[in-house]
Amino acid sequence: MNSDQGSDFTSPRYTNIFIDAGCKISMDHRGRAYDNIFIERLWRTVKYENVYPKEYESPRQARIGINEYIRYYNEKRLHQSLNYNTPEEI
């Protein structure tokens, strides 16, 4: 489980849930907004290009739709940062 160092995530009540379940806990450095920048950017894109416009009616529909979008994102969507290639082509 990875999280930031906010008080919600460092409280014994919260961390003990994961410790008891046998999970390893890791936390980004305090004040390090760039630790997870690439995945944060991915989720922003997923939300603005897929989740918000689609307004899924159920968790099942969302799961199916987001899986389809991620396949599109990796296989068909051109990325400026990749010289207008897809991640699959790189």
pLDDT in tens, 36-70: 788 888 999 999 999 999 999 999 999 999 999 99
Q: Which of 89, 79, 10 is nearest to 42 (CA)?
A: 79
- Same domain (yes/no): 85, 55: yes
The answer on pLDDT for 5 being more than 70 is: no
- Same domain (yes/no): 56, 26: no
What does the alpha-carbon distance between residue 66 and residue 53 come to, in Å, rounded to a whole number?
Answer: 12
pLDDT of residue 29: 67
What does the alpha-carbon distance between residue 63 and residue 69 come to, in Å, rounded to a whole number?
Answer: 10
pLDDT of residue 68: 98
- Same domain (yes/no): 20, 48: no
- How many CB atoms are closer than 10 A to CB 73? 19
Range of the domain at 59: 37-89
Number of separate domains in the chain:
2
- Same domain (yes/no): 50, 22: no
Instruction: Look at 7 and 77; give whichever has higher pLDDT.
Output: 77
- Same domain (yes/no): 52, 85: yes
pLDDT of residue 70: 97
The answer on pLDDT for 33 being more than 60 is: no
